A = this chain, B = another copy of it.
Amino acid sequence: MGRTDFTQMRCPVARAMAVLGERWAMLVLRECFYGTSRFDEFERNLGIAPNILSARLRDLAMHGLIEKLPAPGARHDYRLTEKGRDAFPVFLALKGWADRWMTGPEGPPVVLEERGTGAPVRSPPALSSTGAPLQPEDIRVLAGPGASEALRARFGALVDG
């Protein structure tokens, strides 16, 4: 069995992981969220080999998360698109989990605060429609408009998207 091509999978989460799950992609996006836009800045801040960085920037541009724009001095800026900016909550949720579970006793290397108020940036919680914490047990999975026969058989009722 060959290596599964996640970009061809029916599940959008699998397709998302084909992009965001790439080992360096989320760190390149992190740098974008932190204001980095130049190739040499990404290279220095990430400690990444230039050929790997080129490939990751190209992939993120191909998938429409960043765009490469001309900048003064025959250089380029890499800027987030709307699709890339919309991954900000994913990054914050991941950083929250990482700070809670993957940090040593010394604490997180970087903390985020709101520019306006100085309040710490919270990782986005899963909330119900009434504002209560939402747990995995609280959800029901239903076949959506793009469900296959197999998914409909598994999850029952077809629901309009």
Whether A155 contacts B20 in the complex (CB less than 8 A), given A15-B102, A89-B125, comes out as: no
Residues of B within 8 A of A147 (CB): 109-110
Number of residues in A with C-beta < 8 Å to the partner? 92
Give the oligomeric copy count: 2
Report if A55 contacts B (CB, 8 A): no
* Docked-complex contact A125 and B124, CB < 8 angstroms: yes
Whether A97 contacts B86 in the complex (CB less than 8 A), given A23-B21, A110-B155, comes out as: yes
Q: How far apart are A158's CB and chain B's nearest CB, in angstroms? A: 10
- Chain A residues packing against B (C-beta within 8 Å): 1, 4, 6, 10-23, 26-27, 30, 32-35, 45, 49, 64, 80, 83, 85-104, 106-117, 119, 121-130, 134-148, 151, 154-155, 159, 161
Interface of A is mostly: mixed
* Docked-complex contact B104 and A146, CB < 8 angstroms: yes
Residues of B within 8 A of A112 (CB): 139-142
Residues of B within 8 A of A129 (CB): 114, 117, 119, 122
Residues of B within 8 A of A141 (CB): 34-35, 110-112
Q: How far apart are A139's CB and chain B's nearest CB, in angstroms? A: 5
Contact of A108 among B14, B94, B104, B145 (CB under 8 A): B145
* Docked-complex contact A13 and B30, CB < 8 angstroms: yes
Whether A11 contacts B27 in the complex (CB less than 8 A), given A97-B16, A123-B89, comes out as: yes
